[in-house]
Amino acid sequence: MRLLRPPKHLLATLSGCALLSLTCQAQDAWQMGAVLDLRTTSRALSLGTSESGPSLGHSDVMLSGPVGQDWTAQVILVAHTADGKLETELENAWVQSQRLPLGLQARAGRFASQIGYLNEQHPHADDFVERPLLYRAMFGQHWVDDGVRLNWTLPTAHYLRLGAEVFSGRQLVKALAPDSGRGAAALNLKTGADVGDSHSWQFGVSYLYNRREALVELHDPTEAAHTDVHGAKLSGRHTWMTDLVWKWAPDGNNRREQWRLVWEQAWQRDLNRYTPNTQRNLASSVSVVWRFDPAWETGVRADWLQAHQAALLNPSSAEITRGTLGETAWMLAYKPTHQQTLRLQVAQQRASGVNHEGEALFARPASHSIQLQYILGFGAHAAHTY
């Protein structure tokens, strides 16, 4: 396998960021940075975002800094390949308050929702090449949308944060059913604490109310499948999520050694006007990562997804197909510096579920897939979450 050679204009932009970051940091504390994600895949995964062969992963250019004394701002432009073409988009463009009273914080613009654990985390900070099936199916891998947010961090002995978000929902559900509602709203709770000097944990509960009903299309067995990294593949009116994270490091020194456990689960109901309310989309993911050396990590992840998909047989009736998709992955990562990651990953998928014509709900699951990823950062970058 060979790694993709990025376009010359992208290399020029990233190289410029390494030089400009010093200048930006010196002027009113504004910072500039970039991330380059190169990868190659032996076989594309079902619901995956990486194509077979070399491709450009989630690469970006970031600018952030203060706006007066009371606000901060961030803008992120993203580039990646899909269906063999280079795509660019505005991922983040928001302002956030810094001095609201009573532990309140507000944000407005385009940003990633706080739903779940991984969604708000930037993809280059993930432990695996691809995000869990849960995110790839229900949130288009990384749900970023236009809206407003209000967080309240309570003055308690342990960490406790309540959050509310209102979004347009246009980035979550792209094609709407006739007479569909508009908008989406999310509520979330995060709590956590340290246990002694070596242990820490965080638990979260999230709820998403999505008024945008996805369009159910007429079944066409001749339509060619294509890679679509935008929008959710599965959606519903109500989505509940829980997440649990536990970390261990000797005496809190995670540079020398660390164990990380992440578990997430999601339920969707009221999927669309054709699917009975008793049917649900379900997804879960659990991963364990061990940093056994300051520069080396290894980990495993197991994902499971149960989905119901409607397809119109004619304008007045639809067929509901139920299927399951399981995925396991093992990775080994070498991180010589904070800005570099070289990751080898091996993944395997298992799928079930066909419609009345014998067509699989999850087409072409990968019996095995080998992925190689190289991430290189330039200049400043956003702070990592817990």
> Could you write out the DSSP letters of every residue in 243-274?
EEEEEE-GGG-TTT-EEEEEEEEEEEE---TT
Do residues 304 and 337 make contact, with C-beta atoms less than 8 angstroms apart? no
75 is a domain residue: yes
Euclidean distance between CA atoms 275 and 309, whole angstroms: 8
Res 27: pLDDT: 46
CA neighbor of 331 nearest in space, from 86, 120, 131, 99: 131
Q: Which domain holds residue 65?
A: 8-379
Euclidean distance between CA atoms 169 and 110, whole angstroms: 11
385 is a domain residue: no
56 is a domain residue: yes
> What is the tally of structural domains in the chain?
1
CA neighbor of 125 nearest in space, from 377, 384, 386: 384
The torsion angles phi and psi of 317, rounded to 5 degrees, stand at -140, 155
386 is a domain residue: no
295 is a domain residue: yes
DSSP secondary structure code for residue 125 in this structure: G
The torsion angles phi and psi of 12, rounded to 5 degrees, stand at -65, -40
User: Would you give the end-to-end CA distance of the chain in angstroms?
Assistant: 34
Q: CA-CA distances (angstroms) from residue 217 to 147, 272, 288, 307, 358?
A: 28, 12, 39, 16, 18
Euclidean distance between CA atoms 80 and 89, whole angstroms: 9
Give CA angle at 129 (89, 190), nearest 5°: 80
pTM attached to this predicted model: 0.89
Q: CA-CA distances (angstroms) from residue 163 to 58, 108, 157?
A: 27, 13, 19
Res 223: pLDDT: 55
332 is a domain residue: yes
pLDDT in tens, the chain (386 residues): 444 444 444 444 444 444 444 444 444 689 999 999 999 999 999 999 888 999 999 999 999 999 999 999 999 999 999 888 999 999 999 999 999 999 999 999 999 999 999 999 999 999 999 999 999 999 999 999 999 999 999 999 999 999 999 999 999 998 888 888 899 999 999 999 999 999 999 999 999 999 998 888 776 655 544 444 568 899 999 999 999 999 999 998 988 899 999 999 999 999 988 888 889 999 999 999 999 999 999 999 999 999 988 888 777 778 888 999 999 999 999 999 999 999 999 999 999 988 877 788 888 899 999 999 999 999 877 667 78
162 is a domain residue: yes
**At 350, which CATH number?**
2.40.160.10
Res 9: pLDDT: 44
β-strands 199-210, 144-153: how paired? unpaired
321 is a domain residue: yes
Res 54: pLDDT: 94
